[in-house]
Amino acid sequence: MSALPRSPLTAHVGKHPGEPQVMDPALISDPYGGYGALREQGPVVRGRFMDDSPAWFVTRFEEVRQVLRDPRFANNPVASSLGARPEDSPTVRLLDMLGFPEHLRVYLLGSILNNDAPDHTRLRRLVSRAFTARKITNLRPRVAEIADTLLDRLPEHAEDGVVDLIQHFAYPLPITVICELVGIPEADRPQWRQWGADLVSLQPERLSVSFPAMIDHIHELIRERRGALTDDLLSELIRTHDDDGGRLSDVEMVTMVLTLVLAGHETTAHLIGNGTAALLTHPGQLRLLQDDPDLLPRAVHELMRWCGPVHMTQLRYATEDVELAGTLIRKGDAVQLILVSANHDPRHYTDPERLDLTRHPAGHAENHVGFGHGPHYCLGATLAKQEGEVALGKLLARFPGVALAVPPERLERAQVPGSWRLVSLPLRLS
Ligand code: HEM
């Protein structure tokens, strides 16, 4: 397992004994055990965010869903109702600690995820048309075609019979899909993948170089595309912006592209990676799926619950005093929703640590919070689930004897807080 990268964020760890800290290496290396223990301590636990400012950790399924749909909790750290100065908000302090140039802050703070109604509603409406169930179903043949092409080439990447699924399948599939949807040229995609990795690394020396480069690149892309609009999402955003600047500002347009491309591949890649690793280490469940491929949609629900890649949401801020499960959350307090512990809450699931692909009844909506909940529920969830189904279904059909090339305990995980990502997934194909 790789060591936690050195970062100004780790300097605080241990300063407040008894209070969980998001950067604590013990929580990062064992989120299921660590956050599971917090959940059993209580539904609302006082802890510390990455910048070491206080935050309430909400750990149980019902309370997590309750906060995520409660309009008294805001995403925007400097919302006018909070009266906070930007420099006092944990999110902004974190950006400073990570070396984000101040003039570029707006590109993160302007994102759909950092806004509340009415701005959030306006931004979401502008892009949600591209992600309706029908649009995503129509994309399925193209997703399948991309998966087939990657699987055709997979054996060529093998060294001594071993191929890394993360490198050659789990990343290339979703990055190709989201870039085609948004309209990012093929030649730029490797660069985007690097930027995505730099952003999630939380390392100032990587972030401070990559973020400005990414913003410049998107401006350039918009300039070019404006001269030759097509039917991709970028052209759609440009049309909306140019027709009526009140519906989408310059910064919002850039931020939307950034959010969609990064959120659209960095997470899905790890649903595919984690999901494959889970199946290959649970032969009984793997056999069940291989015998009945119709189980795939339910299997993906369960894999999202059991080993979903996103362990926490963005911070929320109480816009007034709120009592939550007996704890008084004061106006302005930050709240951290712990999805990983909610998804393993024994109050909600029978035998939650057991991977059970038949757990979710056929045809039922998902029963987990791996994609969040409420107004900020993942915009790309339908797309991500479809990609997960296609990727796992096709991989297992093409290589029915596929197996891990290393013992499960040697699978290396990226040591980043709030997520579950394999650095590589070495497989033997057969
Ligand atoms: C929001 C997870 C794939 C775009 C979210 C949230 C979660 C999440 C937990 C809510 C965060 C919060 O409330 O603070 C995931 C996971 C994915 C995935 C686990 C893959 C397995 C995608 C894809 C896209 C996408 C493919 C591409 C469009 C977004 C956007 C938001 C979001 C734009 C913000 C929505 C809003 O604020 O209204 N995602 N996501 N995600 N996701 Fe995903």
Concatenated DSSP letters of 74-120 = ES-TT-TTTT--GGGSHHHHHHHHTT--GGGHHHHHTSGGG--TTHH
Least confident of 82-86, 214-218, 354-358: 82-86
CA–CA separation, 302 vs 298, rounded Å? 6
Is residue 27 lining ligand 1, measured as CB closer than 6 Å?
Answer: no
Q: Is 312 in the pocket of ligand 1 (CB under 6 A)?
A: no
- DSSP per-residue codes, 325-377: TTEEEPTT-EEEEBHHHHTT-TTTSSSTTS--TTSSPTTPPP-S-TT--GGGS
pLDDT for the residue numbered 272: 98
Q: Which of 176, 335, 378, 386 to mutate to test the pocket of ligand 1 (most atoms within 8 A of CB)?
A: 378
Least confident of 67-81, 123-137, 260-274, 341-355: 67-81
- Residue whose CB lies within 8 A of the most ligand 1 atoms, among 234, 236, 379, for a mutation test: 379
Q: Which residue has the higher pLDDT, 1 or 298?
A: 298
Contact 282, 355 (CB under 8 A): yes
Assess whether the C-beta atom of 342 lies below 6 angstroms from ligand 1: no
User: Which helix (H) or strand (E) is 428 found in, with range?
Assistant: strand 426-428
Tell whether the model's pLDDT for residue 65 goes beyond 50.
Answer: yes
CATH number of the structural domain 21-416: 1.10.630.10
* pLDDT band, very low/low/confident/very high, at 170 (cuts 50, 70, 90): very high
Distance CA 6, CA 237 (A): 39
* Among protein residues, the one whose CA lies closest to atom 12 of ligand 1: 313
Q: pLDDT for 257-267, tens place per residue?
A: 999 999 999 99
Instruction: Give the distance (Å) from ligand 1 centre to CA of residue 271.
Output: 12
What DSSP string describes 145-204?
HHHHHHHHHGGGG-BTTEEEHIIIIITHHHHHHHHHHHT--GGGHHHHHHHHHHHHHT-H
Percent of the chain's residues with pLDDT above 70: 97
Half-sphere exposure of 183 (CA within 13 A, CB side): 20
Which residue, 367, 267, 274, is CA-closest to 313? 267
Q: Is the pLDDT confidence value at 270 over 90? A: yes
**What number is the average pLDDT over the span 257-283?**
96
Q: What is the mean pLDDT of residues 313-326?
A: 95
β-bridge partners, 338: 312
407 contact partners, CB below 8 Å, separation of at least 6: none
Report d(CA 225, CA 44) in Å as an integer: 48
Alpha-carbon separation of residue 115 from 75, 91, 208 (angstroms): 6, 13, 23
Band (pLDDT 50/70/90 cuts) for residue 207 is: confident
Residue with the bigger pLDDT between 95 and 142: it is 142
The CA distance from 379 to 340, in Å, is 19
Phi, psi of 163 (to 5 degrees): -125, 145
| Cα–Cα separations (whole angstroms), residue 44 to 62, 239, 348, 370 | 11, 45, 16, 19
- CB of 413 within 6 A of ligand 1: the answer is no
- Residue 158 scores a pLDDT above 90: yes
The pLDDT mean for the chain works out to 93
What's the rounded mean pLDDT across residues 72-76? 93
**Of all protein residues, whose CA lies closest to atom 11 belonging to ligand 1?**
313
Query: Is pLDDT above 60 for 3?
Result: no
Residue 102 has pLDDT above 90, yes or no: no
- Residue with CA closest to ligand 1 atom 39: 378
Of all residues in the chain, the percent with pLDDT exceeding 90 is 78
| ipTM at complex level | 0.99
> Quick one: pLDDT at residue 5?
55
**Statement: residue 232 has pLDDT above 90:** yes
Assigned token pair, 190? 């490797």
pLDDT of residue 99: 82
Under the banding of pLDDT at 50, 70 and 90, the label for residue 2 is: very low
Side chain identity at residue 245, one-letter code: G
The dihedral built from the CA positions of residue 179, 181, 182 and 183, taken in this order, carries a sign that is positive
Q: What was the pLDDT predicted at 1?
A: 40
47 lines ligand 1 (CB under 6 A): no
Average pLDDT on 106-129 reads 92
- Give the whole-angstrom CA distance, residue 147 versus residue 141: 10
Separation CA 277–CA 426 (nearest Å): 10
Residue-level pLDDT at 97: 86
More confident position, 421 or 200: 421
Q: What's the confidence (pLDDT) of residue 12?
A: 79
